[in-house]
């Protein structure tokens, strides 16, 4: 399922990142490099900072007023915290899938067409092409093609999550951030989303936060382990799960932690 | 605090079973060589009969290992402990088979007299048995140094094997009447030499279990 070929082009670089919620420091001097066309998993106990770090990668933390960030996050070599960054453009390039599927209360077709329409695509013919392509990429086309004009809310949870992924793909992002994308899904839907990540990583760079260590082991090329706001270890997934370098990683993944 | 107490207890049990099997195999080597030195067929018979228990033990350890893999999805050192157990049982089982081969030689020599009292062969047996014990000790104590020391001991066994080989060859050259028994004794030494190799295999897996690194002990 997993291919080991990882391109050497760096897609994302996090440098000396500190993050504070008001007085409380949540991330400490994070340095992280993410190669293009790979899947990176963030693991660690609740409150370790993994979701917080994920949200810094497309500035979702901007929405929380008390957050203060120092250090830098480069996407394709450009600091996304620079003054000239267009946040809307950034979030088109670096899209996010959330824990619970959140389709808009409209048809399947309109869910997918929503983003492209905002970005100025109006012609029905063009939108048709985008809708079909996105649904195919998200492995939802066969299940959805006969009900494109029905409400997206009629889909199952697993289908809704793949719809949300299709909705992201419609605006042709470069990076997909996934925040526990399968935690609300049943095992079969989970496997479908996992399988999908393997297909998507050829064209996209994926970072996934997961509480499921077996999931991280199954799908990611590299894994980063976080504890109390510190990135303890980041390395090849097969190495990290068979022979981690740091005792704290060992204790966490063998259940001897805490 | 351990969040997987039940699982880690099962791992301890797995390791205890493996050790138990190791002790059974060690006993088998001891008895097999004793039966040969004394040409005692009833001891040889015990060794041959006892091999079933060793094989049962292997199946049991393999089953427990697979069950733990399937049900517990072990990671890191836990995973290495189980993977190592599954490899080590195979070596132990093979060692048991070599002990049986030696016991069978005793049966074939039934009624004949030894060409000369066996001195070097029991010595070689003692050395291989010690290697097996070291291998098991390194496993139980998770002791890298003991495991690594097996490489040196294996070299000693190999050189003793060469020496016995030459002696038996000379014996055969001196009289064709010696050929049959000398050939059988040669096979016994070959069995012992293979046992030593299996002990180094175990040592290699123990090194992997402890460090996650592979290291060759049998040069």
Q: What is the pLDDT of residue A258?
A: 54
Q: Which helix (H) or strand (E) holds A70?
A: strand A67-75
Average pLDDT, rounded, for chain A: 93
Distances B14 to A187, B57, B58, B136, B137 between C-alpha atoms, Å: 30, 11, 11, 14, 15
Q: What is the spatial order of strands in the sheet that A94-97 belongs to?
A: A94-97, A175-179, A205-209, A39-43, A222-227, A230-236
Rounded CA separation A110/A152 (Å) = 9
Beta partners for residue A72, in sequence order = A15
Q: Is the ipTM of this complex over 0.85?
A: no
pLDDT at residue A257 tops 90 = no
Chain A residues close to B4, C-beta within 8 Å:
254-256
- The helix/strand/coil state of A207 is strand
Dihedral angle sign, alpha carbons of residues A215, A57, A21, A27: positive
- Average pLDDT rounded to a whole number, residues A230-245: 96
Task: Please indicate whether, in this complex, the C-beta atoms of B74 and A213 are within 8 angstroms of each other.
Answer: no
pLDDT value, residue B2 = 84
H/E element holding B171?
helix B144-174
DSSP state at residue A18: E
pLDDT at A4 over 70: no
The mean pLDDT of chain B is: 95
- Partnered with residue A170 across adjacent β-strands are none
| Residue B42 clears pLDDT 90, i.e. is over it | yes
Per-residue model confidence as pLDDT tens digits over A193-237: 999 999 999 999 999 999 999 999 999 999 999 999 999 999 999
The sheet that has A10-21: what strands, in order across it? A24-35, A10-21, A67-75, A78-79
Is a pLDDT exceeding 80 seen at residue B89?
yes
Q: What is the CA radius of gyration of chain A?
A: 18
Task: Evaluate whether A225 touches A240 at the Cβ level (below 8 Å).
Answer: yes
Q: What is the pLDDT of residue B180?
A: 92
At B117 the pLDDT is 86
Residues B41-47 have a mean pLDDT of 97
Chain A residue with minimal CA distance to B79?
A: A242
pLDDT of residue A77: 93
Sign of CA dihedral A139, A140, A143, A145: negative
Percentage of chain B surpassing pLDDT 90?
91
Pairing mode, if any, of strands A39-43 and A205-209?
parallel
Task: Flag whether pLDDT at A6 surpasses 60.
Answer: no
- Stretch A107-130: mean pLDDT: 95
User: Does residue A7 surpass a pLDDT of 60?
Assistant: no
**Sign of the torsion formed by the C-alpha atoms of B43, B47, B49 and B53:** positive
Question: What letter would DSSP give residue A151?
Answer: B
For residue B212, the surrounding DSSP H or E stretch is none
With cut-offs at 50, 70 and 90, classify the pLDDT of residue A104. Answer: very high
pLDDT of residue B116: 84
How would you classify residue B104: left for phi > 0, otherwise alpha for psi between -120 and 50, otherwise beta? alpha
Angle in degrees, 0-180, between the axes of helices B179-211 and B76-108, rounded to the nearest 10: 170
Determine which helix (DSSP H) or strand (DSSP E) holds B4, and give its type and residue range: none
Is A250 in contact with B7 (Cβ distance < 8 A)?
Answer: no
Counting one residue from A and one from B, how many pairs have CB atoms under 8 Å apart? 40
Subunit contact B77:A250, Cβ cutoff 8 A: yes
């Amino acid at each position: 399922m997993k291919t080991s070929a990882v391109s050497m082009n760096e897609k994302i670089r996090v440098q000396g990142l500190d993050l504070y919620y008001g007085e409380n420091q949540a991330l400490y001097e994070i340095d992280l490099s993410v190669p293009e066309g790979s899947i990176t998993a963030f693991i660690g106990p609740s409150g370790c900072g993994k979701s917080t770090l994920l949200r810094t990668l497309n500035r979702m933390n901007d929405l929380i007023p008390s957050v203060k960030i120092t250090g830098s996050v480069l996407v394709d070599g450009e600091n996304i915290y620079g003054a000239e960054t267009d946040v809307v453009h950034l979030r088109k390039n670096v899209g996010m899938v959330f824990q619970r599927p959140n389709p808009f209360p409209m048809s399947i077709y309109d869910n997918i067409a929503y983003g492209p329409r905002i970005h100025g695509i109006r012609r029905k013919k063009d939108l048709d092409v985008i809708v079909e392509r996105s649904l195919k990429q998200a492995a939802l086309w066969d299940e959805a093609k006969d009900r494109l004009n029905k409400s997206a809310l009629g889909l199952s949870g697993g289908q809704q999550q793949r719809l949300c992924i299709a909705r992201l793909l419609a605006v042709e992002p470069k990076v997909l951030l996934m925040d526990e994308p399968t935690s609300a899904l049943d095992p079969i839907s989970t496997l479908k989303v996992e399988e999908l990540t393997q297909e998507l990583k050829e064209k996209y760079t994926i970072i996934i936060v997961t509480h499921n260590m077996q999931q991280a082991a199954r799908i990611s090329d590299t894994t980063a382990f976080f504890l109390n706001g510190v990135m303890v270890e980041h390395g090849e997934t097969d190495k990290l799960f068979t022979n981690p370098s740091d005792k704290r990683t060992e204790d966490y993944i063998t259940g001897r932690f805490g | 605090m351990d969040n997987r107490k039940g699982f880690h207890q099962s791992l301890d049990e797995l390791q205890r079973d493996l050790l138990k099997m190791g002790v059974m195999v060690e006993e088998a080597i001891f008895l097999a060589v004793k039966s040969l030195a004394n040409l005692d067929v009833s001891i040889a018979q015990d060794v041959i009969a006892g091999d079933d228990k060793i094989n049962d033990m292997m199946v049991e350890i393999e089953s427990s290992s697979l069950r733990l893999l399937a049900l517990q999805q072990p990671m890191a050192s836990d995973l290495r402990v189980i993977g190592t157990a599954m490899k080590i049982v195979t070596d132990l089982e093979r060692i048991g088979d070599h002990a049986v081969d030696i016991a069978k030689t005793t049966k074939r020599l039934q009624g004949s007299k030894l060409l000369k009292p066996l001195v070097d062969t029991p010595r070689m047996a003692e050395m291989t048995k010690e290697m097996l014990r070291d291998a098991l000790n390194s496993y139980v104590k998770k002791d890298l140094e003991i495991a690594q020391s097996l490489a040196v001991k294996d070299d000693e066994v190999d050189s003793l094997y060469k020496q016995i080989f030459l002696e038996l060859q000379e014996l055969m050259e001196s009289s064709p009447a010696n050929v049959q028994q000398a050939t059988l004794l040669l096979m016994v030494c070959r069995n012992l030499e293979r046992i030593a190799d299996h002990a180094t295999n175990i040592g290699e897996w123990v090194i992997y279990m402890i460090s996650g690194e592979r290291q060759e002990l049998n040069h």
